[in-house]
Structures are given as structure tokens and as C-alpha cells.
């Protein structure tokens, strides 16, 4: 697939397309339900001030505008052509537009990559012809775009002008036309300013990255909302995410594909080839992209971050006049992982002065019924809570009440929230019951994000808090270029190093491993065991034998020389019986590690996205409960510790039922060391340490798999 317009060329192409000085509608029609007529009606409704050229085989004039009968008759240098024609005529039209120096074309027609291999071939040819003629393509299989800020609606759906009221807005990019419209309507429904909404379709050359770059450069855009079924240029997207973070422009993205059925649906929808969703999500989040799980979260989080683009790395405070809401909030926050931090002593002291004796100054804060007699006091409470350094955002959850109460809230609560410099949102419960018009108008004029559901407000604030934390983590992330250790040796044909090679290499990288060495004879084994001390374990070693226990290649608990001799014979007999063709490098003789807490630490390199590291507790926790944390490879040690404590079984790290706590920082150092080598050496595709045994004062890598080349994904973890 051609990607000619990557980088600044892409930004220039998007600029010419989204802010065109001249537009040609190819397939213009007087039929009120024809796509070409919808486009023309939209342009006239918005008062588009540029040149409009109409191409129609059936009409000589439409709405008093003259038509030409073919694309050849258009003037040179049209900025944007809108192709409202069937797929059969698209290729020749784009070829002609190239000869005329047209800047871009919107293609509504479907029947391309989303329709299967034959369609993909047609799309590739379309992209080739467009690139040869210098024509940037929006689509095919798209619904076009609407640039609200500049008054350019280029879509076959009837749209109305929408004013931002002088405020910066959200830019919307979606690979689905219906989702672009859905996002647009949702933001409009809550009065959120918009700059432009773009439906990218199949992305034959202009892709989501090009529009993202344009929105980052656009001074009118404050935040970017994305619906993406596939990121086709992951490394470029990650770089743009870094650019957006540096520009203070949050990206909030919904990316389906967790389930196999969702990945299959995306393939048929936009011709997307699904990547590793979990890996992509982790690396996007590392760059500050807020990857959400639902449409509600996409609308809600983008609305808050558009107003507060750089939230603090701190938890949320909740204020309410209801003890019931306080109790519900505590349970719900626990369920969604939203931190409700304690207030500082100074804040508690000030709140105690303001509140009646029967109120408790904590978080969530139930300020009781004091607002009935003194509504202005609630504003002072809001200011006090938001000034607390432990607090990064605030949810005020209230009932609307009668008209007099709504007047008080409009006069006192809304202004207090509006002057907040941290994310502060208003939840007016009562579901869809209408508010008094003056109350609704006061909220809208203030720009304070409004919710009618406390659950949605809290979920959004959880995402906002996580974004604040991501910004702080990005500042702490290891940006140095680590030195790559030389590989353990010549890369085997299957890419898998034998365990003794992998462990020796990991030891040089900073991971402790058991004392031991490779024995090529029984005498060697006896000598090594005498040097390191009994009891010992024997492990058969060969690149072709990553799963040693499956063929009897591991013998444990050998307490003395006699046991070692018997174990040596047992190991060789078993391996020879099951793998008679296998030539062993030797047998690894190691001290038996004492019992401890078994963890699994692994890393893999996604061919498109890059490396990630996985850590979790071993045994049932990883096999059945899937209790793992997937992390970016450059995460700082202190942040790895935070992630370890987010494991469901994190209590095991700190000692349960009489067992001692383990050295969590030693675990974090091991995870960081593996991540460092994945970053340093692009040849590495997989590292698996299973188990990494943690003790109160250290860790020990008892088994290890190190893989290079394209072979890592075909092999499961090594068996100790």
C-alpha cells in the first residue's frame, strides 16, 4: 500500500484537502437524494466561500451553478475533488485529476480492500495511480470530512454549521464513517467545540497518521479523539503521539480488536490487518495515548481533557451532599481502580472549620445539607479540596433540586468549578430529567464538563488520572540508548539459544542465576557439583530442546555424587529414547535454588510496534487467572514497582500466611534489565525467564529462554 504522503508532505496534503480554496464535485446531481447533491447542499448551507465546480453528465446547471460534462473540462490546480461516482469510474477519474494538478480527492465508493483480495488489488492500483499523479486520497470507502472551524463540509450526510464560540475544539478521526458521525454528534450534544471530523475509510494513501499530524499542528485543536481499527504505521503513530504530548494535546483513542471476532470484523470492515492489540495498547499508553474501552469513555474523557489537557498525576476527589452517593462511590471507585486519595491535614483542618460538627472531612466528602442555607459555602469547599496537593481532579455529584436550588447551583457551584485549574466536572443526577433552562445555560457557558451519570464521570476521571500518571511516567522513562550485550553466540538455525547460553548472557545483563556450568562428561559434572555444592539439578542442553522436561531432560534434587551418576544415566537414557536424533551440547549442572515466590518475566518484540515486557506470578496465577502486567520496555524501576503492586495477587509479594515479603525492587531491577536489552538489541525477539524466584533479599533466574530472529512467537515458555 502506497504511503507517499507520510510526514510533512502528508500534513501539506491534508491542509490542502481540509482547507481547500476550490472544490470540484464529480457526479453532481439535481436529485435531492444523490450524494453529489448532499455535498453541494452542505457547502451552500455552510456558506463555503471558495470556488465550486460541478461535473455532471445529466445536468448543465444545478442550483444556478453551471456544470461541465467531464473531469477533463475542469481547470488546473483544483484543491479538492469529491468523487460521488461508482467504483468503476474512480480510477480513470483520479488519473485525470493527476494530469490537472489536483491536490486531493475524496472517494466515497466502496468495493476495495474491505471486500477481499480482489478489492485490495484494485485499491493498490488506485493508490499507485494517485501517487504517480500527486493526488492525495481520502478514502476510499469513507464518508469524507467536515471542517467546522473553517466551514468546509465534504460529506454525503446532511450536516449543519456548528460554532465553537471562539474556543479551541476537539479534532475527530475515525476509520469508520458512521463512527465519525457518532463522535461528532456526541460532542455536539454536550456542547463540546469541534475543529474537524474526518472519516478515513480504507486509507489508500492518506492515513490516520497524516490527519493526526495535521491536528497536532493546528492551533485551533486542543485534543484529538480517534476511532481506529488498525494503526498501519505504528512507529510513525508513536512518534506523533510523542509530538502531541509535547504540544500538550491529549489523544483519546478507542481501538477494537481485543477479541478474535472483533479482529475478524475489522478485517471485513476496513481491510485492516489486525496486530497485537495488547502490545499496541501498552506502547500507545506509554506515549500518553489514552486508550479507552468504550464509546462512553471516548466521549467523556476527551471532553474533560479538551478543557484540562495537562492533568496532575494524582487521584480524584468526590464531593456530594448525599451519604448514599459517598458509599456507592467508594465501592465503584474500588471496582474501576480509581484512586480516591486521603486529604492532607491542612485541607482537613480548613474543611473542619467550614463544615458543621456532624460532617466528616474526608474523601469522598459528604458536605451534608449546608448548601440549602449557605450555597456560597459549597464554592469555598470546592476551592479548598482542589487546592489539596493530593488531589488531581474533582467530581461534584449533586441532585438538581427545585428551581431555587438550581439557581443557587448556577450562581455558586458552576463558577467555582469553572475557575478550577485542575480537571473538575459536574454530575447532576436524576438521569434524563430536564434541568431548568437557566441552569443548563450557565453550565454550557462555563465550559464545565457536565455528566448525568456519576458512573460515567468517575470512569472518565479514572482515565484522566491515568493520563496524568502517563505524562509523569514519560518524564521518568529511560531515554538513554543502552549498550547491547553481545549475543550468547552464533544464532542457531531456529533462533533459540540453549538455556546455558541464555542464562550466561542474562547474568552479564544483571540477572542473578544459580551457580553452575556446562558439563560435557560425567567427570565434568562431578567436578562442577563438587565446586558448587550439593544438592544439584541436571538439565539437558541443546538449541532444539527448549522444553526439556517434556523428554525427561531435567533431573532435580541430586544430593551426592552417587545420585548425580544415577541422574546422569537417567537423563541421557530418557532423552535418547525420545529424541534419538538430538545431539546435546552438554548438561547444565546447577545448585538447587531454595523455595521462594515464583514469578514469570518475559519480553517479546512485535515486528510493528516494538518490545514489551511481561511480569506476573507463576503457577495458577498466570496459567489460569492470567494475572500479568504488560509493560513498555523503558519503564523506570519505580514505575515497575507500581505495576507489580497492581497484580491481583500482589499481596503474595508482601507476605501472606507467615511467608516473608520478597524484595520487590530486586524483581523490578530484573524486569528493567530485560527491558533494557530488548531496547538495545533489535535482534532479540523473545526472552522468557520462568521461573524468576523472589526471596526477601534477592531474585534468582532458574530457567531462561533467549530467542533471536523471527522464531520467538512460535515457542512457548521454557519448562524448568
| Order of strands across the sheet that contains 251-254 | 152-154, 145-147, 194-199, 169-174, 221-227, 251-254, 290-292
- Quick one: average pLDDT of 89-99? 98
pLDDT of residue 321: 94
pLDDT of residue 717: 35
pLDDT tens for residues 490-500?
999 999 999 99
In angstroms, the CA 574 to CA 545 distance is 13
pLDDT tens for residues 104-118?
999 999 999 999 999
Residue 710: other Cβ atoms inside 10 A: 11
Q: What is the DSSP letter of 627?
A: -
DSSP string for residues in 428-447: EESTTPPPPHHHHHHHHHHT
- Quick one: average pLDDT of 216-221? 96
pLDDT of residue 480: 78
pLDDT tens for residues 425-435?
999 999 999 99
Q: Decide: 216 and 10 in contact? Cβ < 8 Å.
A: no
pLDDT tens for residues 558-577?
999 999 999 999 999 999 99
pLDDT of residue 622: 80
| Ordered alpha helix ranges (H), 202-316 | 208-217, 234-246, 260-270, 277-286, 295-307
Residue 178: other Cβ atoms inside 10 A: 12
pLDDT of residue 372: 83
Q: Decide: 696 and 662 in contact? Cβ < 8 Å.
A: yes
Selection from 202, 212, 146 nearest residue 7 by Cα: 212
Inform me whether the pLDDT recorded for 3 exceeds 50: no
Render the burial of 418-445: b for 16+ CB within 10 Å, e for the rest. Answer: bebebbbbbbbbeeeeebbeebbebbee
Selection from 695, 706, 698 nearest residue 660 by Cα: 695
**Average pLDDT of the chain?**
92
Phi and psi for 194 in degrees, rounded to 5? -125, 145
Inform me whether the pLDDT recorded for 18 exceeds 60: yes
Q: Decide: 473 and 642 in contact? Cβ < 8 Å.
A: no
**Range with the poorest average pLDDT among 86-100, 401-415, 608-622:** 608-622
Element (H or E) spanning 178, and its range? helix 177-189
Question: Which cell is 665 given?
Answer: 525492587
Question: Which cell is 459 given?
Answer: 470512569
pLDDT tens for residues 679-695?
999 999 999 999 999 99
Inform me whether the pLDDT recorded for 718 exceeds 80: no
Strand pairing category for 315-320 and 391-399: parallel
pLDDT of residue 164: 86
pLDDT of residue 7: 53
Phi and psi for 115 in degrees, rounded to 5? -100, 0
Contacts of 577 by beta carbon, 8 Å cutoff, 6+ apart:
none
Contacts of 714 by beta carbon, 8 Å cutoff, 6+ apart:
none
pLDDT tens for residues 323-345?
999 999 999 999 999 999 999 99
Threshold 0.75, pTM exceeds: yes
Residue 649: other Cβ atoms inside 10 A: 16
pLDDT of residue 656: 85
Task: Specify the length of the chain in residues.
Answer: 720
pLDDT of residue 498: 96
For the chain, percent of residues with pLDDT exceeding 70: 95
Q: Which residue has the cell 489539596?
A: 388
pLDDT tens for residues 22-47?
999 999 999 999 999 999 999 999 99
Question: Which cell is 436 given?
Answer: 431548568
**Range with the poorest average pLDDT among 121-135, 158-172, 267-281:** 267-281
Inform me whether the pLDDT recorded for 557 exceeds 60: yes
Q: How confident is the model at residue 713 (pLDDT cuts 50, 70, 90)?
A: very low
pLDDT of residue 620: 75
pLDDT of residue 528: 98
In angstroms, the CA 336 to CA 650 distance is 17
Inform me whether the pLDDT recorded for 515 exceeds 50: yes
pLDDT tens for residues 251-302?
999 999 765 554 454 444 333 433 488 999 999 999 999 999 999 999 999 9
pLDDT tens for residues 369-424?
888 888 899 999 999 999 999 999 999 999 999 999 999 999 999 999 999 999 99
* Alpha-carbon separation of residue 697 from 105, 507, 521, 666 (angstroms): 64, 17, 35, 8
Residue 319: other Cβ atoms inside 10 A: 23
* Alpha-carbon separation of residue 513 from 137, 497, 590, 670, 694 (angstroms): 56, 16, 9, 11, 12
Strand pairing category for 80-83 and 22-26: parallel
Question: Which cell is 348 given?
Answer: 482537613
pLDDT tens for residues 453-512?
999 999 999 999 999 999 999 999 887 788 889 999 899 999 999 999 999 999 999 999
Question: Which cell is 30 given?
Answer: 439535481
Contacts of 438 by beta carbon, 8 Å cutoff, 6+ apart:
406, 407, 410
Residue 580: other Cβ atoms inside 10 A: 7
Sign of the CA dihedral with 146 first, then 147, 151, and 154 last:
negative
DSSP string for residues in 138-175: E-SS---EEETTTTEEESSS-------TT--EEEEEES
Max CA separation in the chain (angstroms): 103
Helices (H) and strands (E) in the chain, counts: 24, 30
Burial of 699 per CB tally in 10 Å (0-12, 13-18, 19+): buried
In angstroms, the CA 636 to CA 639 distance is 5
Burial of 30 per CB tally in 10 Å (0-12, 13-18, 19+): middle
* Alpha-carbon separation of residue 50 from 17, 79, 80, 102 (angstroms): 13, 10, 11, 15
Inform me whether the pLDDT recorded for 16 exceeds 50: yes
Inform me whether the pLDDT recorded for 611 exceeds 70: yes
In angstroms, the CA 638 to CA 478 distance is 11
Q: Decide: 137 and 104 in contact? Cβ < 8 Å.
A: yes
In angstroms, the CA 52 to CA 13 distance is 19
In angstroms, the CA 294 to CA 664 distance is 34
In angstroms, the CA 72 to CA 283 distance is 47
Tell me which of 667 and 710 has the higher pLDDT.
667
Residue 461: other Cβ atoms inside 10 A: 31
pLDDT of residue 113: 92
Residue 536: other Cβ atoms inside 10 A: 27
Contacts of 240 by beta carbon, 8 Å cutoff, 6+ apart:
209, 212, 213, 216
Residue 150: other Cβ atoms inside 10 A: 15
In angstroms, the CA 84 to CA 82 distance is 6
- Quick one: average pLDDT of 129-147? 97
Residue 255: other Cβ atoms inside 10 A: 23
Q: What is the DSSP letter of 61?
A: E
In angstroms, the CA 633 to CA 247 distance is 24
Q: Decide: 539 and 570 in contact? Cβ < 8 Å.
A: no
pLDDT of residue 272: 40
Residue 362: other Cβ atoms inside 10 A: 15
In angstroms, the CA 55 to CA 74 distance is 8
Strand pairing category for 597-606 and 628-632: unpaired
Amino acid at each position: 500500500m502506497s504511503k507517499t504522503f507520510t510526514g510533512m508532505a502528508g500534513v501539506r496534503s491534508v491542509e490542502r484537502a481540509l482547507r481547500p480554496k476550490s472544490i470540484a464535485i464529480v457526479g453532481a446531481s439535481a436529485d435531492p437524494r444523490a450524494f453529489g447533491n448532499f455535498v453541494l447542499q452542505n457547502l451552500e448551507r455552510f456558506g463555503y466561500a471558495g470556488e465550486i465546480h460541478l461535473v455532471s453528465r445529466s445536468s448543465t446547471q444545478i442550483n444556478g451553478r453551471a456544470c461541465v460534462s467531464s473531469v477533463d473540462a475542469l481547470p488546473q490546480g483544483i484543491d479538492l475533488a469529491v468523487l460521488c461516482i461508482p467504483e468503476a469510474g474512480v480510477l480513470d477519474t483520479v488519473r485525470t485529476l493527476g494530469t490537472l494538478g489536483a491536490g486531493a480527492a475524496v472517494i466515497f465508493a466502496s468495493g476495495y480492500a474491505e471486500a477481499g483480495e480482489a478489492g485490495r488489488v484494485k485499491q493498490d492500483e488506485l493508490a499507485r495511480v494517485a501517487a504517480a499523479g500527486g493526488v492525495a486520497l481520502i478514502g476510499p470507502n469513507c464518508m469524507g470530512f467536515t471542517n467546522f472551524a473553517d466551514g468546509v463540509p465534504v460529506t454525503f450526510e446532511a450536516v449543519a454549521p456548528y460554532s465553537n464560540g471562539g474556543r479551541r475544539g476537539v479534532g475527530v478521526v475515525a476509520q469508520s464513517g458512521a463512527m465519525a458521525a457518532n463522535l461528532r454528534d456526541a460532542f455536539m450534544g454536550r456542547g463540546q467545540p469541534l475543529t474537524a471530523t474526518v472519516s478515513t475509510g480504507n486509507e489508500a494513501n492518506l492515513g490516520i497518521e497524516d490527519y493526526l499530524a495535521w491536528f497536532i499542528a493546528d492551533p485551533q485543536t486542543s485534543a484529538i479523539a480517534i476511532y481506529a481499527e488498525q494503526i498501519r504505521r505504528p512507529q510513525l503513530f508513536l512518534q506523533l503521539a510523542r509530538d502531541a504530548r509535547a504540544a500538550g494535546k491529549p489523544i483519546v483513542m478507542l481501538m477494537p480488536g481485543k477479541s478474535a471476532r472483533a479482529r475478524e470484523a475489522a478485517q471485513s470492515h476496513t481491510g485492516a490487518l489486525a496486530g497485537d492489540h495488547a502490545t499496541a495498547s501498552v506502547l500507545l499508553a506509554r506515549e500518553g495515548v489514552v486508550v479507552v474501552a468504550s464509546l462512553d469513555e471516548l466521549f467523556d474523557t476527551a471532553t474533560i481533557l479538551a478543557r484540562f489537557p495537562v492533568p496532575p498525576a494524582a487521584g480524584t476527589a468526590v464531593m456530594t451532599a448525599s451519604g448514599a452517593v459517598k458509599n456507592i462511590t467508594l465501592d465503584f471507585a474500588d471496582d474501576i481502580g480509581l484512586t480516591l486519595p486521603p486529604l492532607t491535614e491542612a485541607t482537613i483542618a480548613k474543611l473542619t472549620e467550614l463544615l458543621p460538627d456532624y460532617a466528616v472531612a474526608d474523601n469522598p466528602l459528604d458536605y451534608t445539607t449546608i448548601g440549602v442555607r449557605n450555597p456560597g459555602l459549597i464554592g469555598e469547599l470546592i476551592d479548598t479540596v482542589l487546592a489539596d496537593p493530593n488531589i488531581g481532579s474533582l467530581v461534584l455529584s449533586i441532585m438538581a433540586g427545585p428551581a431555587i436550588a438550581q439557581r443557587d447551583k448556577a450562581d455558586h457551584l458552576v463558577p467555582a468549578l469553572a475557575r478550577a485549574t485542575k480537571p473538575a466536572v459536574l454530575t447532576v443526577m436524576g438521569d434524563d430529567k430536564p434541568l431548568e433552562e437557566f441552569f443548563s445555560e450557565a453550565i454550557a457557558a462555563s465550559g464545565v464538563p457536565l455528566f448525568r451519570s456519576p458512573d460515567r464521570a468517575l470512569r472518565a476521571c479514572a482515565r484522566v488520572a491515568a493520563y496524568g500518571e502517563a505524562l509523569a511516567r514519560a518524564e521518568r522513562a529511560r531515554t538513554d540508548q543502552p549498550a547491547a550485550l553481545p549475543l550468547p553466540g552464533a544464532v542457531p538455525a531456529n533462533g533459540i539459544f540453549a538455556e546455558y547460553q541464555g542464562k550466561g548472557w542474562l547474568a552479564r545483563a544483571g540477572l542473578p542465576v544459580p551457580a553452575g556450568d556446562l558439563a560435557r562428561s560425567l567427570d565434568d559434572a562431578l567436578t562442577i557439583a563438587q565446586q558448587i555444592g550439593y544438592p544439584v539439578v541436571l538439565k539437558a542442553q541443546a538449541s532444539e530442546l527448549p522444553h526439556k522436561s517434556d523428554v525427561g531432560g531435567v533431573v532435580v534434587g541430586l544430593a551426592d555424587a552417587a545420585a548425580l551418576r544415577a541422574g546422569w544415566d537417567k537423563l541421557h537414557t530418557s532423552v535418547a529414547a525420545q529424541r534419538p536424533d538430538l545431539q546435546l551440547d552438554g548438561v547444565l549442572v546447577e545448585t538447587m535454588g531454595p523455595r521462594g515466590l515464583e514469578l514469570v518475566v518475559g519480553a517479546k518484540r512485535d515486528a510493528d510496534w516494538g518490545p514489551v515486557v511481561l511480569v506476573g506470578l507463576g503457577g495458577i496465577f498466570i496459567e489460569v487467572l492470567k494475572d500479568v502486567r504488560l509493560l513498555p520496555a523503558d519503564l523506570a524501576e519505580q514505575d515497575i514497582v507500581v505495576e507489580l503492586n497492581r497484580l491481583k495477587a500482589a499481596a503474595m509479594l508482601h507476605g501472606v500466611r507467615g511467608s516473608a515479603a520478597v524484595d520487590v525492587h530486586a524483581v523490578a531491577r530484573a524486569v528493567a534489565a530485560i527491558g533494557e536489552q530488548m531496547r538495545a538489541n533489535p535482534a532479540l525477539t523473545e526472552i522468557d525467564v520462568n521461573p524468576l524466584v523472589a526471596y526477601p533479599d534477592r531474585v534468582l533466574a532458574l530457567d531462561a529462554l533467549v530467542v533471536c530472529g523471527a522464531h520467538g512467537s512460535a515457542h512457548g515458555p521454557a519448562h524448568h
